[in-house]
Every structure is written in structure tokens, then in C-alpha cells.
Structure 1
């Protein structure tokens, strides 16, 4: 072998190692961003509202550098249209907001988070995206168990976030961890709220199950983390996430059945599972008193119906444009400071429903736009999932995640905020970059898929 040939081989090997290192750094950086997104309350509890900007900016700087080095670029044709319309409308509400400066601040955050999420979807292929998400969710679950165990074993509960230390007795909703791990919960974990923690466990379980069904790799690790997810779902005692879990379970069972029936029967199978899902939703509504008793909750879903009724009165005052875009209601000003008061004396800061939230803050215009964005994205990811149900379950993961967020959207507002918004925008961008699937069934659709 000549010196020149040997040097060329070494240069190629160095390039491959460099590319692998950058890809690994990108996955860990994106995982860190997902971690901050889904556990934002815990991060803010440690560093404070201003101090938490430091880890966010560090992660953002790493991501921008790696994005530029990778040669990727943001092009307008890759931007999800309906989501961008919603973000633009949010910014426009600053003109008539109840607090224009605060709406401007939140609009800037929403625009920035949306751009970063679009860039994440462009920078990573689907497998890397799912792996990054799994890593972030595992960090949250792991840190939650460690934190809960320390507080429970040392008897330091309820534990306030470090930024509240030294302030004396706080309202119940301000505490980070209550130290109830050893008595069976409910636990709040690193996110400081049992509902987001339970939803993290659900998302992780979905990703792990479908990844294993596709790859058959790492069975021991998969079983371990699924057991951890199951423990979290039991210990958080979250009734709202339990509904999403049932929905996702039905979807995954439907997928397994779909792969084992002839193509000509699949439309009927989907129809049957859809009917079962609708029947389950209707049954859950009429059995809400029994479900509430099982979870130790009130039949009005822990006061959500009261929130919705009072929010409806405010929506009627500003039906077109709403009261201005806010990421969480500004409870320091009226009418939000006295709209709904919790048992601990603090004001409720969200509607616990995406559509009520959007209608209140951005009016019926914003609510219509975000509803269209959710339904359109759900429709598109399901089409891609159906087209690849036989040969590529990676493409099914976004559909099941989107279904989980869609179900949750009726009892939580979190799809519009932080980690859930990130994931929603990432999925919407991915399915747009991934390509359109024509409305045919199902082998012809597979032939027309366009890979990015």
C-alpha cells in the first residue's frame, strides 16, 4: 500500500470518528433540551427563573454550533404551516393583551422554542430523535426516583425547591417533593408535579415498547425501564394520564393485531378499534364517578369543570382575540388572580384543557388554528404509521406519541407549553419533512413516501 493510500484511509477513518462524535454530541445535547423542556419546573426550582436561562443558553449554544457544523439549514418549506400561524397569532395578541409586555415576553419564548424544535427535527433523523427523547425521559425518571428516595429516607419532606429555602411555610402547590415514596405516593419527582411525571413515564414506555418491537435489542434494559415507568404510573396516581395510558395501550394492541391480519381486513380492524376507543371514551364519561372514586378524585376531574366554567365567562368577554398569549396565566393581575383559587390559597394558572386555554388567551381564532394544527398533524402521522406498519415501527412512534398528547389535551394545557410543545412541533416538522402519504391503502402509500 502506498503512503498516499494509507494517508487517505487514515483521513477517512478520522472523518468517520469525527462524524460519529458530533452525532453523539448532538443526541446528548437534544436530550438535554428535552430534559429541560419536560422538567422545567424542577430546573427553575434549582436555578430560579433567571438562573435557569444559563443551562438553557449553554445547551442552545452547543446545538447551534453542532447544527451549523452538520451542514443543515432551516428552510421555510420545512416549517409546519398551521403551527407557525398559531405562533404568529400569539405574537399578534400582544396588541390587545391584558399585559402587553408579559405577552411580548412569552411570545418571544414561544417563537424561540418553536424555531429550536423545528431545527431539532431537521437536524436529526427519526431514530436519533427517538433515542434522544428516550435518554431525556430516562434521566427524568431516574432523577425523580433518586430525589424521592433521598427525601423519604431522610424524612425531609415536604421539600421546597432550593430557590424557596428559608421562606418558611409555603402553599402546598409550591413544594417540590413531599417524600411519600415509601408510603405508596403520590410522588412528584424532579418535575415537581405528578401529572407531568406520569406523562413522562407514559411517553417513555411507548418509545421503549415500539423500539423493542422493531429492533429486539436490549431486552433486559427495556424490561427494567418499563418496570420503572409502571412504578411511576402507579405511584403518581394520575387519573388524567391513566386515560392516556389506556388510549395508547389500545393503539399498540391495534398495531399488533394489524400486522397479523391480511391487508384487505385492515380497514375493518381500524374501524373496530376506533369504535372501541369511542365506546371507551363514552363509557369513561358516564362512569366518571366510579373512576374518580378509584383514584380518590372528585367527579369534576379535580375541579376542572369549575375552571372551564369560569374561563368560559372570560372567553365571552374577548371571544375573537382572547386576553393575550401567556405561558401560564399571570396570576399577579386581574382577572387571573381571582379566577379560580386552590385549596392552598394560590390562584390556578392554567385551564387544564388545550382548547379552553387557547380560546382564553388567543380567542376563537387562536383556538381554531391550534385545533387545526393538532388534528392535521395527527392525521398525517397516522397515515405515515399505517403505510409502514409492516416494516418500520420507528415511523409508528410519532403517531402513538401524538395520540397520547391528543388525549391529554382534553385534561391538561401542557401541549402548548415547554416539553410537550417541543415534542409536538418536532413531530409536526418531522412528518412534513418526511413527506406526504397519499390517501390510499396501504401498499400504494408506501411506494409514494418521500424520505428526507
Structure 2
């Protein structure tokens, strides 16, 4: 091995490279809307491709610490293969391949980050990233809405801060800002509880995320905050319960969740009225009815994977025609999956999130460190948000889902038993390589 090759290998395998790569990935993923609006889709695509190449090089030099069985959850691999297979029956194979490439690219970046950073390191990197991006969002909203009182159209900022919102920040819509703010709140609170940052950093960060969640005026923020609050309380009860009582407690909570979902469905009209989201829900109801009509024509395999809709392609143009609107998604990740990759794809994506939630919840309920609560709480946020938006199927939402699924599988998986049977130990870094 030449000196230059040895130096490159050591750099790629270093802890400093892992941290720099993770921060760069997170900044690119969560800034994707702003990058596209400022420089175009070609710029974002180039950034993602370059990061994937670097990530592949990092995984290659760290290959001794990896196990092929544990590289990614089986349900995730199955979903990616099914979406790729949808090219064969898609209405537009080229667009499906492009949509799948984006899906795979963000998933690969999430898998890479999941293998080179542990949970606490991931939480810290995400916290640092969101502090910067939310700070930039607030600064631009102040500049647009108060200082110059003029919209910044290139970023979709309407300049409504002075009248109390809604605001969008650099994320494109009030609902996306609200979603990111809730993710940030969970991350900042975990940082503070795990004492990985000082109170002088944690408290202003929590206040920033809370303020932007409020000014986003997104009706989904209330539902997300309520769901995360209930999940946090339930997890705290389980963590403090005596070990012999945890199993019965978990089953009781599971039954309570099913009952709560049933009651919520029965009382959905009152809940919508309470949230003052009637017209918003009416739009969604019309959209979903039109979507289900098209899904019924291909219920098993769907119309092919596109991700965000190609509005000039069938069946999306037909749905928009009947709703007299220009929707770019189904405003519901579950319905979007059902339409694009059918009942099979729907079952697979539910398995990805459901298995990850169960695994991470069980791990968080027995591990002492509060940092293990980050994964199940994020999965709850993603699952609830998916009822109102399709964020989980692309960009930052999809990245977080894959990262959480990988993290859950690393801690509690049948692969651990297979690895242990063959090696006797969990794979570690090669000599001379730090984490």
C-alpha cells in the first residue's frame, strides 16, 4: 500500500471524517428545498451523488466492522426492491427510475450515517444541524416580515412573521416547518436530558424550535405535539416500572393505543373542528376519495413509484382533474404508497416503520440512557405526520425513517444471534481505526 493510499484510508476511516460526513449529509438533506430553489434540482442531485460516493468509500475502508446481514433491515431492502420492480408496470419507466434513484440515494446516506455514528453522536449531529437551519429560518423570517416587509419568493417565504404567521422558513411550507420543529424539539430535549450539551445551548434551542412550531400555524403541530407527549409519558412509565411488570404494562398500553385510535376515528369530525382544520381536511378527503378510485384499478401493485407526483402523468393528472387542484403528493404517506406501489408496497412500508418502532421501544424501555428514547419518539412523530403529509416518502422524512429503522435493527435483531453464533462477538473496528 502506497503512502498516499494509506493516508487516504486513514482519513476515510477517522472519527473526524465520520463527523464531518454526517454533518454534511444532514445539512444537505434538511436544506434540500432551499438548494433546489436556489440552484436547481441538478445541484441537489450532484450533491447527493457525490455524498453517496464518499459514503461508499467510507463503508469500504470500514468493511471489517460491517456484517452483510446487518447492513440494512430486511423490510427496507424488500421495499426498495419492490419500488424498483414497479418500473416494469409503471406508466412512465423513466420517471420511476429517477424517483427510485432519489429514494435509494437518501436511504444509502442514512445507512452510511447509521453505521459510522452511534445514537448519541447522531442526536448531537442532528441537533447541531437543526439549530443552524432553524436559526437561519428565523433570521430570514425576521428580515422578510419585519425589516423589509417583503416576501422572499425564491425561498417561498411570505413574510408573515409580523402578523403572527404562518411562516415557512427555508423548508418550503408551514407544515414542513412544523414537522421539522417537532423533530428538533425531540432532539433538543434528548440532548438536554442526556447532558450532551449545556443548558446555555439546550434551553435557547428548545425555545427556538417551540417558537417556530407556534409561528408555523400548522394544524398538524398540535397533533404531533400531543402524540409525542403521550408517547414520552408512556415510555417514562415503562422505563420506571419493575422488570417483571413491564410485559403486562406494554400489552396494556398497546390495547390503550388501539382503543384511542378507534375513538379518534369515531370522533374525527369533532377533533377536526377543535383543531380548526375543517377546510384543510375537506381538501384531503376529496383528494383521498379520488386517489382510492384510481388505486382500485391496480390494488396489488399500484401505478409505479414516482415519489413526489409528476402532475402531467397518469394517474396523478386524473386525480388533480377530479379534485380541481394541483397536488404534488397525496397529503398522506400511507395513501401515497398505496397508490404508487399497491397493497404490497403499503404492507412493506408499514413493516419498515412498525418493526422499527417495536424494536426501538423495547430497547428504550430497558436501557438506562435516555438517548435510546430518541428513536421511538422520532418514529412516532414520523408515523403520525404520515397521516397528514407524505414527508416520510422523500427527502428528510425518508432519511429519518431509514436511519431510525437501521438504528432499531442494530440494537434488537435476529441478525445479532446469527453474527454471535458465527463470530462470538459483535463486529468491531479494525486495528488502528477509531470511531
- Give TM-score scaled by structure 2 length: 0.84
Alignment of 1:380-419 (within 5 A): 380-388=359-367, 391-419=368-396
Unaligned 5+ runs, structure 2: 1-6, 416-424, 429-435
Contact 2:13–2:61 (Cα < 8 Å) also in 1:
no
Match of 1:228 in 2: 208
Match of 1:129 in 2: 122
Distance in 2 separating the partners of 1:264 and 1:358: 40
- Range moving further from structure 2, 421-430 or 334-343: 334-343
2:335 paired with 1:335: no
Match of 1:421 in 2: 398
Contact 1:324–1:362 (Cα < 8 Å) also in 2:
yes
- Range moving further from structure 2, 318-327 or 211-220: 211-220
Alignment of 1:40-439 (within 5 A): 40-70=32-62, 75-78=67-70, 79-155=72-148, 157-161=150-154, 176-215=156-195, 217-267=197-247, 269-270=249-250, 273-274=253-254, 277-278=257-258, 280-282=260-262, 284-285=264-265, 288-289=268-269, 291-293=271-273, 295-298=275-278, 301=281, 303-340=283-320, 347-388=326-367, 391-436=368-413
Contact 2:67–2:427 (Cα < 8 Å) also in 1:
no
CA RMSD of aligned residues (A): 3.1
- Give TM-score scaled by structure 1 length: 0.81
Q: Answer 1 or 2: higher relative contact order, Cα 8 Å, separation at least 6.
A: 2
Contact 2:25–2:109 (Cα < 8 Å) also in 1:
no
Structure 1 residue 275: Cα displacement: 5.7
Structure 1 residue 194: Cα displacement: 1.3
Alpha-carbon distance change, 435 to 271 in structure 1, aligned in 2, over 3 angstroms? closer
Match of 2:3 in 1: none
Match of 2:420 in 1: none
Structure 1 residue 279: Cα displacement: 5.4
Alpha-carbon distance change, 334 to 158 in structure 1, aligned in 2, over 3 angstroms? farther
Contact 1:326–1:361 (Cα < 8 Å) also in 2:
yes
Contact 2:299–2:342 (Cα < 8 Å) also in 1:
yes
Structure 1 residue 117: Cα displacement: 1.8
2:18 paired with 1:39: no
Alpha-carbon distance change, 225 to 301 in structure 1, aligned in 2, over 3 angstroms? same
Contact 2:379–2:401 (Cα < 8 Å) also in 1:
yes
Contact 1:93–1:321 (Cα < 8 Å) also in 2:
yes
Deviations 1:117-174 (A, max 9, x none): 2122111112111112222222221111111111113445332227xxxxxxxxxxxx
Alpha-carbon distance change, 206 to 361 in structure 1, aligned in 2, over 3 angstroms? same
- Find the residue that maps to 2:128 and give its secondary structure: helix
Contact 2:190–2:370 (Cα < 8 Å) also in 1:
yes
Structure 1 residue 285: Cα displacement: 4.3
Match of 1:5 in 2: none
Unaligned 5+ runs, structure 1: 1-14, 163-175, 439-448
